[in-house]
Chains A and B, each alone.
Chain A
Amino acid sequence: MTKTNLNRRDFLKGAASVAAVSTLPLSAVELAFADPAMNFTFAYISDSHIQHIKGSRFVNNWDRGLIRAVAETNLLQQKPDFVMFGGDLAQLGTKAELDHGAEMLAKLNYKTRMVMGEHDYYLDLGEYWSDLFGPHWYSFDHKGVHFVVLNSILTFDKWTFDRWPTAEQRMLEMAALDNPNGSPFMVGEKQRAWLAKDLAAIAKDTPVVVFSHSPIQKIYKGWNFWTDDAEQVQALLKPFEDVSVIYGHVHQIQYNQIGNISFNAVMATAWPWPYPRSYAQAESHMPKITVPMNRADPFFERDATGWQFINLKTGRVDLEYNLYDNTDRTVAFNPATGKPEDTKYQAEDDRIAPQIQY
């Protein structure tokens, strides 16, 4: 594969480089074919937080995370049908960061679609991001599955437009996770109306997968592990038989089941976040069924970061987490219990020390 100076223009054209035949096996992924025609995989890379320091210097740690995720995704033997990027490509939404991130993503051998994250958005309200990547919310169909991409990191108009004297200030305020001056995420009325219309045309037995940056749940408001209109969005999804929500933002393994909707968080390529219960001064509503990821050793900068590929069979998603310096984890939908489960560690007795010792 020749290394050219891929830039954002190549990215826009959906650059596919000379195919290096990937002959490596997928490890530990069982694809149980119910209706073989419906089976496919896609890869999910998220939360790279490319951070500009000065001039041509970017934070090395986050750069390496995205580089590695892209390189490994390209090695997959069973090629994913497409790649999603789950949001927060940049750290402070600057052109330099978005360009640098786009350049790295351009090396992917597959068609890539993007989800908006708050770190991409709050500097210029996603204007440059749209130049690079397209609309902030949209839907598409693939092999009988209906995919919806939401911009779920919006917030109250007053906070967005009136509160802060400069765009830079607004971005900084939203960037700090624990900032009491922050504002809760939401999908918002406009998008919910669009979603209702979009879903109206879809048959109730069509599998629906929603890509969102924020969790479409209310987990912990202090760190914006939160979508303020979660219930309303969930209500729109309720009529469908098989719904999966895949979200980023939290930088940790989380999964949940609410009614008919499965929720799965994806890892960040940049850095892990603590679980909300590790903040002793506040309560949180962490999904009880989640088996935590292994606690990280911060010396190994890729520890507790990773990317994931997702199998879609019978309309439900199974996630294989590629975790560096740790054993890979698989969270698969269990039809018997009707919820996502870790295929190895779900039972309390099967947990290992790095999952418990927080």
Chain B
Amino acid sequence: MRKTVFVVLLGAGLLAAAGVLSDAGEEQLAPLGLPPVPIPEDNPQTPEKIALGEKLYNETRFSTTGEVGCFTCHEPEKAFTDSPLKVSEGIEKKTGTRNSPTVINSAYFTTQFWDGRSPDLEDQALQPFINPVEHGLVDYEPILTIVRTDPEYAEAFKEVFGKSRDGITMREVTLAIAAFERTVISGDSPFDRYYFGGEEDALTEQQKRGFELYLNEGRCVSCHVIEQTQALFTDNRFHNIGVGINNIQNDIPKLAGNFLEADRTLSEVDVEVLTDPRTSELGRFAISHGFDDIGSFKTPTLRNVAVTAPYMHDGSIETLKDVMIHYNNGGVTDVGDPVNDFLSGGIRPLDLDEDQIDDLVEFMEALTSPEFEPSADEAEGQ
């Protein structure tokens, strides 16, 4: 109950802060440091749709055990992740191969999932339901039965979409969920107030040094994009930065070949990827079949990164400092490890010293939006 209330307030509060709700086709205003939220023409925002989406997001009946909902892996109180889990746990605590990415600001991605296999939030929402290690459903029937017959859902779908009974399909379900997710936006971090808001004191001296490194010796800004008037912290592209792929270097020809033979449909990709740890390291390659994408994963946003440990697509890097060390080593976690042959051209040894690494980590702390800062009496584990 408390959780639901928190989320509703959060969503409404953000909407209020962001300004007027949009009409069809218009863009939603955004907090400091972010551009307007892209709203697709065929899914305009309305308060009723958002409320319905949130209800669906928190629904546990759309899983075989009746215990798993979107919030299980994307929990509002954990910055919409399941930190500190390395990889997510679905029904019966089954695990896949992916670290849960945050829903916060996911509306700005041009593709969804670490391998970018979904073109939008609506399509993304379809997949976890039928993933055997996530919600575990065999097909969408249980969901459709509930939304068509449960009186509260029936009334809501009628109000939002003008649809009832068999007229309610997974399309309406995912439109609503996506509409809710498009309100999960956060900016206004200390960095935003410093860089876009002109508040000289918003960053500490160490964070300012970290920011200089970010733009220069750290070589961060080209993928984790900051621009003149806004910062998404992602380039929406896919890069092999030497995480995970390093472990399967010698087996790449065999694994890629197996995968291509086994995989025919997109839904199979989901299963294959999440259940085979070695295969899943091929990343975007599984979708594009291009040499360029071997071992490549989508650049995540760095907003709120300090509260969403552990890091990388497989959760294999525990702390932000470890992340910096990985980059500093030029795409290997331990110095002396072999660099994989397909490493992105953007990754190479950085030659930073310990102070510089600490400065960068400190700067990462400045990217947390106020509503996701751990409160004083919360766990200090992060």
Contact = CB atoms under 8 A, between A and B. Distances in A.
A300 B253 contact: no
Most buried by A among B290, B292, B349: B292
Nearest to B223: A299
A20 B254 contact: yes
B250 to A, nearest CB: 6
Given A20-B254, A24-B257, A25-B260, A301 B291 contact: no
Contacts of A75: 252-253, 256, 291
B344 A300 contact: yes
A281 interface: no
**Is chain A's interface secondary structure helix, strand, loop, or mixed overall?**
loop
A72 B258 CA distance: 17
B345 A325 contact: yes
B289 interface: yes
Contacts of B346: 299-301
Interface in A277-330: 297, 299-303, 322, 324-325, 328
Interface stretch (A59-67, A151-159, A174-182, A243-251): A59-67
Nearest to A76: B291
Contact of A21 (B222, B253, B260, B330): B253
A209 B257 CA distance: 33
A324 to B, nearest CB: 6
A300 B345 contact: yes
Contacts of A302: 344-345
Contacts of B354: none
B196 interface: no
Given A25-B289, A75-B252, A299-B219, A324 B257 contact: no
Contact of A23 (B250, B260, B291): B260
B261 interface: yes
Q: How large is the interface on A (under 10, 10 to 19, 20 to 34, 35 or more residues)?
A: 20 to 34
Contacts of A328: 290
A1 interface: yes
Contacts of A1: 250
Nearest to A301: B345
B341 interface: yes
Nearest to A71: B341
B345 A21 contact: no
Interface string B215-228: 00001001000000
Interface in A219-267: none
Nearest to B343: A64
Contacts of A20: 253-254
Contact of A22 (B253, B341, B343, B349): B253
A27 interface: yes
A200 to B, nearest CB: 42
Given A64-B348, A301-B346, 10 more contacts: A24-B289, A25-B289, A27-B289, A72-B291, A75-B256, A75-B291, A297-B222, A300-B346, A324-B345, A325-B292
Interface of A: 1, 3, 20-25, 27, 60-61, 64, 67-68, 70-72, 74-75, 297, 299-303, 322, 324-325, 328
Interface of B: 219, 222, 250, 252-254, 256-258, 260-261, 289-292, 330, 339, 341-346, 348-349
The 10 A-B residue pairs with the shortest CB-CB distance in the complex, in nearest-first order:
A23-B257, A302-B345, A301-B345, A71-B341, A299-B222, A300-B345, A20-B253, A72-B291, A300-B346, A67-B341
